[in-house]
Structure 1
């Protein structure tokens, strides 16, 4: 018997990733992005140290259940003030390195969850 993981009807699936880039639907991205099962956009964040509350307001407007913040090769935790736009509305936030965020995104997407991966690259 052959088993195959079903990703449903999601339009944006991560195919490959590392701390420098991600490949989604055969296109390589090296700049910061936001990806959801039915949404993909550049994220105007140059690096972790330049994150501002407005960056998280943009994520909040997408109304995800959970945000996976991929912070590059290493895990960097944002201050609680930065995450206030999300936590105030009960949106879960998980901080991890970018490869882990990509793996977790694919699992949650396959479960039909409304997940957003906000991915930073170094």
Structure 2
């Protein structure tokens, strides 16, 4: 992903059904792009989509990327099958904590996205002419 450009939520509306889903999809792509625990093909795909160099629909049709996604899903399924009951309970608790943090981050991003733009000509700050 280049430092000078990242796609906006609106650019994901070709696949997302609403702005909320687009926001979550972009956040997921950011997570994948930065996850050192994932394979290089998945990270590359996320970075390419985020930078705008690859359309998300094209990424989903690229055999290299779809294979990487299915491989990761298989690994997750296998890991879940190998967990003991205690490990599953611990994973659920960790997920609950992670999910609460993610929800707080989403709420903050929504507030930033939906905040009125200052200096738009509608009203103004006290003391301005």
Q: What's the TM-score once normalised by structure 1's chain length? A: 0.28
Larger radius of gyration: 2
Q: What TM-score, normalized to structure 2?
A: 0.27
More helix by share: 2
Hey, which of these two has a bigger chunk of strand by percent?
1
If asked which structure has higher relative contact order (CA below 8 Å, sep 6+), I would say 1
